[in-house]
Amino acid sequence: MKTFLKMNKNPDYSIKTRAKTFYFASFFFNRNIKEEIATLYIFCRYIDDISDSGELNKTQAKQRLKNVIKDLKKLKSKNTILMDFINLMIKKNIQIKTPLMLISGVMQDLGKVKLKNLEELIIYSYKVAGTVGLMVCNILEVKNKKLKFKGIQLGIAMQITNIIRDIDEDLKNNRIYFPLDFLTIKNDKPKQILNDKELQKQFSKDIEKLKDFSDLVYTNSRIGIYKLPIHYRLPIALASRLYQSIGVKIRNHKYDIWNKRHYLSFKEKIIKFIIVLFEIFFMRNIVENKKMEKEINKILLKLSDSYCD
């Protein structure tokens, strides 16, 4: 994996090589939107690499992130990645609190991560991914707050898919994003799961509960996707479906995330593309889970009463 230092020299490579699923979906945006989303993605990747590349210790990484915050607040930076993002913020009226919330989530990764419950998972997922969904809404010039909330939910659902897929890797790094109250395993040393086949089997059953929750969030977000202008509907719907399908593939492999990293082949992506085309034009009978949506809203309001702005 390229480091953030190398990426700073060559920021244009990122979305193609490091976000293959989203890169496939982004083909259906026009050139300007594609470039703006690439700018956002490169910024997010840069922030993530500061904490996760391994080139900086925790103290150095925190200081680097604090320097990023200073640049964002000044709306000025010598770093081309940050300056490109600052220009995007100004152009698309992205409120500074949104990327700052993202950075606060990434800073959380620098400590020992142990999420106790679903509420903590939703808050963390909002910080590192729901904020990205919100910024994409700015890029697409979505003004409706209800649609913005759907965009936030899509980001949260995608992050949960990432968490499920990367449980093995995260455990090795002393990070537990899987909410502990979802676990039936009575074990105060989760890293033991890495070397215990029986615990892995039991954990795999618990993963299904979290995947089922993410599916509900994906479904709710899809209602908002279908209300987007037609020229934005396809790429966003496709990105949503592709990410959700990673979870489906994990389920089809009996939640075995211990021996391989799951991803979609090009053929599978084409099949999902055809399915999404059909859904966009012919399917509208989506049942909204209002109870779950109210619960997510209630949780995020504890974080900020303007989380959706």
More confident residue, 301 or 11: 301
**Could you state, in order of their start, the residue ranges of all structural domains in the chain?**
1-111, 112-309
Q: Which residues of 84-105 are buried (b: 16+ CB within 10 A; e: fewer)?
A: bbbebbeebebeeebbebbbbb
**Percentage with pLDDT > 90 across the chain:** 60
Q: 112-309: which CATH number, 1.10.600.10, 1.10.275.10, 1.10.10.10, 1.10.730.10? A: 1.10.600.10
Highest mean pLDDT pick, 29-43, 96-110, 266-280: 96-110
**Percentage with pLDDT > 70 across the chain:** 90
Residue with tokens 């049942």: 287
For the chain, what is the largest distance between any 2 Cα atoms, rounded to a whole number of angstroms? 53
Q: How far is CA 23 from CA 13, 35, 239, 302, in A?
A: 11, 11, 9, 34
What number is the average pLDDT over the span 102-125?
93
